[in-house]
Structure formats: structure tokens, C-alpha cells
Amino acid sequence: MTATRFATGFQRILNKAGQKIKITYFNQTVGSVWDDDTTLTTSGTLWLSGIVLPIGTSSDDSILIQQGRLLNGDKKLYIHGSIALSTGSVMQVKFQVGSPIGSKYSLLSDGTINTNYAGTDIYKRVYIRLLTTGSIIGESGA
């Protein structure tokens, strides 16, 4: 019961303080044995509320910056814990912050941290990087 209350409470925070986030899901297919070409096909979209913050506001961020895994322009996104961001190595995601038009971001590899209580995911902290080319190949490790 308490885990559900935490998840519901976090969703209320997102509804009040969050902004519109669009998640676009892509299925990845790799060419044949002779062809390493990768193709992405849009497999769905999801609109939700999320909170976007600059990095550097926690000790976790500082460690990742020192390790070179985060850059100064990267951001962290807080979303509800029930949102799926990967179903294995064949799915990638792209985030759009703002509605109806906004900046597009890719998910950084190893950039998702789940916070759970009693086996229930309450929220996800996701590290994202601004896409300047429009492509998620080579920039996302989801």
C-alpha cells in the first residue's frame, strides 16, 4: 500500500511541476551478416509529464562528470517509474522536451536510475543529451 502511495504522490508532483515530454520509441534492426547497416523504425510515442533539471545538482552528477560520462550541457529528467525505456538492446528512445515543438534529446548509455520502494518503481532519473543532428544513432545507448 505504501509503495502505491509513493508512486501516486510522485505522479502528483509531476502533474503540478512537470512539463510535457514526448517519448518516441524506435525498433532497431541490423542488416544481414554481410551488412552492418542499422535501421530505426518508429514503433510508438508517449506523452507524459516530467521534470527536467540541469546536471551538477547532486554528488552522483559530479562523479559522472569527473568520469567523463556527462557533459556540461546534459540534463537529467525525472519521470514516473512505470515508464518503459528499454525492452532489450533492440529498442531506442528519443525525448522531446516541450509541446508542441521542443528540443530533442537522446538517452545516455547507462543513463537510467530507478528508485523503488518495496519492489515498486517510484520514479526514474534519466540522463539525456541534446540532439543537434536529429539522429539517435551513435548518440544513444539505450
Question: Closest by alpha carbon to 95, among 20, 19, 22, 18?
Answer: 22
Q: What is the pLDDT of residue 138?
A: 44
| Residue 61 resides in a domain | yes
Residue 101: the pLDDT is 81
Domain CATH number, residue 102: 2.40.10
Instruction: Please tell me the total count of domains within the chain.
Output: 1
* pTM summary value: 0.80
pLDDT score at 29 = 75
Q: What is the DSSP code (8-state) at residue 125?
A: E
Q: DSSP state, 26?
A: E
CA 20 to chain CA centroid, nearest Å: 13
What pLDDT, on a 0 to 100 scale, did the predictor assign at position 72? Answer: 84
Does residue 136 lie in a domain region? Answer: no
DSSP 8-state code for residue 99? S
Is residue 33 one of the residues assigned to a domain?
yes
pLDDT given for residue 50 in this prediction: 93
Q: Residue 122 belongs to what domain range?
A: 2-130
Residue ranges in the chain whose pLDDT is less than 50 = 137-142
Q: What's the pLDDT score for residue 141?
A: 41
pLDDT for res 140: 40
Q: Give the pLDDT confidence score for residue 76 in this predicted structure.
A: 92
pLDDT at 134: 59
Residue 7: predicted pLDDT = 85
* Cα–Cα distance for residue pair 16/12, rounded to 1 Å: 6
